Amino acid sequence: MVWIRRAFIAILALIVGAGAIGLLGVRSRTVTAMTADADTSLSVEYAQVARAGLDVPFRLTVHRSGGFDHDVTVAVSSDYLDLFDRNAIDPEPSESTATDQSVIWRFSTPPTDTFTITVDMQVQGGRHWGRTGSAAVLADDGSALVQVTFKTWLVP
């Protein structure tokens, strides 16, 4: 019985220690992909590890050499976004729609060659394990010019 209590206290001490040095908090990561001609790139900063109730980063950066000559349309997998409470998108999309697989945002033509979209969101309570997601910059015909995939793990 004494050994069971000692083992429990040791496990509890490990969990508290891991939390104290930041191992159980939000850890972000950035993934990047570019088109074959290296003309357009997409980078996504996301929470690789998070916990329910915490704010998490989600930032999409689209770069186009020579600037943009038309609106920017991005798609993010809706299954991934369902993990989160989304509070705001900055800048606001000029148009927004959804399919059964993606949330699609269209933004007015940016004045520079780099365009950043920031989504203010928080992990919903009661979510466990996490999910894989994807984001893409879409061409006018709806096909993906460039796409990245990512996974967020949720810890208790």
Which of these, 111, 109, 154, 110, lies nearest to 131 by C-alpha position?
154
Task: Note the pLDDT tens digit of each residue in 24-79.
Answer: 667 889 999 999 888 999 999 999 988 888 889 999 999 999 999 899 999 999 99
Which of these, 72, 83, 150, 79, lies nearest to 117 by C-alpha position?
72
Phi and psi angles of residue 2, each rounded to the nearest 5 degrees, phi first: -65, -40
Domains of the chain: 26-155 (2.60.40.3670)
Task: Note the pLDDT tens digit of each residue in 118-142.
Answer: 999 999 887 778 899 999 999 988 8
Indicate the pTM of the whole model.
Answer: 0.82
> 140: Cβ–Cβ under 8 A, 6 or more apart, which residues?
70
